Structure 1
Amino acid sequence: MRALMSHAAGGPDTLVLENKPALVAGPGQVVVSVRACGVNFPDTLIIQDLYQIKPERPFSPGSEIAGVVTAIGDGIEGLNVGQRVLAVPGWGGMVEEILLDAASVIPIPDAMPFDEAAAFLATYGTSYYALKRRGRLAKGETLLVLGAAGGVGLAAVELGVAMGARVIAAASSQDKVDLAIAHGAAGGVVYPTGPFDKDGQKALAGLFKDAVGKGGADVCYDGVGGDYTEAALRCMGWEGRFLIVGFPAGIAKIPANLTLVKGCDVVGVFYGAAVARDPAAYRREVAELFDLYEAGAIRPHITARYPLERAAEALTLLAHRKAMGKVVVTMNEETA
């Protein structure tokens, strides 16, 4: 079977497509024939050794997959050969076959195609955990989403709408804002490209304040970081919740006095660690997300699909922050 491998830290051009031996399921394990692999921004970091998790090399990037169970080890109940499933292994997904612990594999709804299943849980899971458990988003509140056209950002827009919030989408172009509005955002704001000097920071904060309105944002979903974080923090309402989700624009330094003046919480969102610490809550939230999917409230917006031999192009697209919605690597022509 073919696998895209990282042998040394570097960009997508350092990845090598190799042939690997077929996999065998041991006790408690399953082999999954991968049909699609979702591409996420952390995939671009992990191959450079810039992510908080650093797998032993060689490894394959690709944090979420969907496919078909082809072999089952001893001691497993509730899974069958031929079953359609998804999993979020964290890495290892840009392969034609993957060996997984059976407990990490989740059956997918019959109506969910493989490409949508592979583009589902890393983004919607992260954003649902962020908004529900960390942000305590309530019906009628105002939610500001930075990076609103990216994978997790667009998921946050859809989930915020489904949870009854007034969602304001912030993104770097009008096309991206329009996409978020098409997915339910009540309004949007186009922010300029940083970095910003002091006057630029002030102007950016003004844009955010005008967009959310006089009462400020009850919750801010910051999947961007950099100079955008402080500007967004300045538009928070009293006792708001500011969610730190990601840093494609760089890791921000936040003036502590702003949190005092706003009376707001600054909350870290580390979905992978939350899943490991509370797997029961994870399973409940996955079931709730499937319910929202089947009700039509959420649906992955896939803008590009690449075959495995062109997976480096998919990673480059995300690394340059040019993707809208989700990008998926497919292992064959079948995505349904």
Structure 2
Amino acid sequence: MPQPDVTADARAAASASPVPAEMRAWRVTRLGEPAEALSLDVVPVPAPGPGEVLVRVASVAANFPDVLLCRGEYQVKPELPFSPGIELVGTVAAAGADVSGVAVGDRVVGSKIGVLSEYAVLPASDVWRAPDALADAEAAGLTVAYQTAWFGLHRRAALRSGEWLLVHAAAGGVGLAAVQLGAAAGARVIGVVGSEAKAAVARDAGAEVVLVRGADDLVAGVKAATGGHGADVVFDPVGGAAFEASTKCVAFEGRIIVVGFAGGRIQSLPAGHLLVKNYSVVGLHWGLYPRVRPDLIDDARAELTRLAGDGVVRPVVDRVVPFAQAPEALTALAGGSTVGRVVIQVAS
């Protein structure tokens, strides 16, 4: 349901509400599974410096990197203790000097490690106004998954209308984003899901064909769906066996986009096979773009805002859990049973 335009009221409320001295924050105090690694602590509210904003956090979307951060397995390894959480929706409560683009009272979405708390400081360049068309639970999951999918499909794969797009983990957060954005671009989408129960979600998101991992023969299914042509673009956040199967059904001059390794195994690249079949394997690390090509980030944000306003993209929310149950939310995400996004509601 579209959000009302509450910018003026939100600014007035934010200006009238003093920022407290302390806040609650979930922090990793020792490495391990989320239930054993996380501690709910009372800590000082941080102050924004030049170019930074303080955001009163409304909701945080759980991501698989949060689980890896708890385990100490993520590529970024903050010093203990630290807060996980990498994307949020909230309201700008205060701003440091030299801030442009957003103002106190703006409802924003953004991304930075450490936002699983009642307040969070982020660079102003890392937040943007939340689309009015999305409720908080939906908007919380827009930044990471949808920009990852957008850059993977449009920047790295140069996806074209009419091409066949194969999406692994098509009922997960980033997979559903890729399905929705691929369908919006005119691609013919084949989704791979972990169970029959998840198939309907992928179809609703725009997948023309859905294959169930373990029940369907992925290679044969892709070849049958495409009339032997194969997948022009493969979006792969799983890796391992999923990647290996993709190499057997990728089209001539196809592109396999390596997004992550949620399956737990990092595959080796078959260089000889790439040569013989004439396809490309392309890596995607979305986190580099804000620093290296911020101009492209602006393009992605504008396009996602437009698509959200048109009702074309809408993050699928599996469940919303209260702030006190954040460890349970990350445990559910790690178990692979969720569909779409698990959202942690921080502010009531």
TM-score range, shorter chain: over 0.9
- Provide the C-alpha distance between the structure 2 equivalents of 1:65 and 1:42, rounded to a whole number of angstroms: 14
Equivalence for 2:257: 243
| Consecutive aligned runs of 4 or more in structure 1 exceeding 6 Å deviation | none
| Aligned residues of 2:166 and 2:191 also touching (Cα < 8 A) | yes
Contact 2:88 2:109 in 1 (8 A): yes
Alignment equivalent of 1:66, drawn from 83, 89, 105: 89
Match status 1:47 vs 2:70: yes
The corresponding residue for 1:123 is 145
**Alpha-carbon distance between aligned partners in 1 of 2:122 and 2:218, rounded to the nearest angstrom:** 45
1:21 positional shift:
1.4
The AA in structure 1 aligned to 2:259 is V
1:259-274 to structure 2, matched below 5 A, reads: 259-274=274-289
SS in 2 for 1:153: helix
1:231 lines up with 2:245 in the alignment: yes
Q: Which one is further off, 123-132 or 273-282? A: 273-282
Output aligned runs, 1:67-82, within 5 Å.
67-82=90-105
Question: Structure 1 residues 103, 275: closer, same or farther in 2, change over 3 A?
Answer: closer
Q: Secondary structure at the residue paired with 1:280?
A: helix
User: Which residue of 1 is the match for residue 314 of structure 2?
Assistant: 299
Change (3 A) 1:129 1:78: closer
* 1:166 pairs with 2:188: yes
Q: Distance in 1 between matches of 2:130 and 2:218?
A: 42
Amino acid at match of 2:62: V
2:156 aligned to 131, 134, 137, which one? 134
Count of paired positions: 324
Q: Which residue of 2 aligns with 1:197?
A: none
| Match runs of 1:141-160 below 5 Å | 141-160=163-182
C-alpha displacement at 1:246, in angstroms?
Answer: 1.3
Residue 43 of structure 1 deviates from its aligned partner by: 1.1
Task: Look up the match of 1:252.
Answer: 267
**Match in the other structure for 1:282:** 297
Relative to structure 1, the CA distance from residue 112 to residue 205 in structure 2 (aligned partners, 3 Å threshold; closer, same or farther) is closer
In 2, the alpha carbon distance for the partners of 1:135 and 1:75 equals 36
What do the CA deviations read for 1:96-153 (whole angstroms, capped 9, x no partner)? 0001222222112333322211111111100000000111100000001111000000
Q: Distance in 1 between matches of 2:93 and 2:83?
A: 20
Determine if the alignment matches structure 1 residue 20 to structure 2 residue 43: yes
Q: Distance in 2 between matches of 1:214 and 1:208?
A: 8
Query: What letter corresponds to residue 226 of structure 1 in structure 2?
Result: G
Amino acid at match of 1:169: G
Which stretch of structure 1 is more off in the superposition, 36-45 or 97-106?
A: 97-106
- Matched with 1:185 is 207
Distance 2:124 2:205 in 1: 34
Give the distance between the partners of 1:223 and 1:157, measured in 2 at CA.
13
Paired-residue identity, %: 42
Paired residue secondary structure (1:20): strand
Could you tell me how far 1:204 is from its partner in structure 2? 4.5
RMSD, aligned CA: 1.6
TM-score normalised by L of structure 1: 0.92
Residue range with higher mean Cα deviation, 290-299 or 203-212:
203-212
CA distance in 2, matches of 1:70, 1:40: 25
Aligned equivalents of 2:332, 2:84: Cα separation in 1? 15
Structure 1, residues 42-98: CA drift from partner, whole Å, max 9, x if none?
A: 111122121111122211111101101111222323432211111111x11110000
Q: Distance in 1 between matches of 2:48 and 2:115?
A: 17
Task: Choose 134-143 or 111-120, whichever is displaced more.
Answer: 111-120
* 2:243 pairs with 1:221: no
TM-score (norm 2): 0.89
What is the letter of the counterpart of residue 33 of structure 1? R
What stretches of structure 1 of length at least 5 have no aligned partner?
A: 194-199
Say whether the 8 Å CA contact 1:306–1:314 is kept in structure 2: yes
CA distance in 2, matches of 1:9, 1:265: 37
Letter in 1 for 2:282: V
**Range that drifts further, 263-272 or 224-233:** 224-233
Question: In structure 1, how many angstroms separate the alpha carbons of the residues matched to 2:45 and 2:115?
Answer: 15
Question: What is the 5 A alignment of 1:26-45?
Answer: 26-45=49-68
Q: Report the alpha carbon displacement of residue 262 of structure 1 after superposing the two structures with TM.
A: 1.8
Q: Which runs of 5+ in 2 are unaligned?
A: 1-22
Which amino acid is the alignment partner of residue 46 of structure 1?
L
Counterpart Cα distance in 2 of 1:269 and 1:58: 29
Residue 3 of structure 1: CA displacement?
0.2
1:324 matches 2:347: no
